[in-house]
Amino acid sequence: MQLRYPLAPIALSALFAGPAVAAGLGVNIEIPRLNVSEYHRPYVAAWIERADSSMATTLAVWYDVRTKTNNPEGEGTKWLKDLRQWWRRGGRELAVPIDGVTGATKPAGKHALSFTEGSKPLAQLAPGNYKLVVEAAREVGGREVVSVPFQWPPAKADSATAAGKEELGEVKVELKP
């Protein structure tokens, strides 16, 4: 008995075909472990700024999303304005939660974000010079802003880093053409 698989060549070609090539942006944010008596996880905002310091897009906002009152977002939204630079550059105009952007605060450690060209939030990013900006603010703690310049779209694979001193550790941008 002979078995026939008329779709096998199509399935195999899809399996072995290379992935579609699209530019990529990887962001790694380190939240350091602090040895303090009263520790609260920091609120963190990560966004891309144009050369004129205007906000191009928000990549991530981590805040206290637990429900503590009748407010479905909890009381955490009222503290977003403590991320002062992000708030003034455009955060106050956003209605949170934002699917794929907002989320709960993160524990100490390294946290990775990954984006591809053409998908949100990079869909409207025109070619040019930009800065990744990461801001952290912590209750009973400090506030810190770290920025890393980069070129979009990348001509070659590249990475750049900057480091905070207290509220943020290493912030790394990885670019893939």
Is residue 162 within 8 A of residue 148, CB to CB? The reply is: yes
- The kind and range of the H/E element at 16 are helix 8-16
pTM value?
Answer: 0.84
Biggest CA-to-CA distance, the chain:
75
Answer whether the bond into residue 121 is a cis peptide, omega within 30°: yes
- Report CA torsion sign: 56, 170, 64, 72: positive
The strand pair at 55-63 and 102-104 is best described as parallel
Which of 122, 123, 76, 124 is CA-nearest to residue 102? 76
**Residuewise pLDDT in 10s, the chain (177 residues):** 555 545 444 444 444 444 455 789 999 999 999 999 899 999 999 999 999 999 999 999 999 887 555 555 456 888 999 999 999 999 999 988 888 899 999 999 999 999 998 888 888 899 999 999 999 999 988 999 999 999 999 999 999 999 999 999 999 999 999
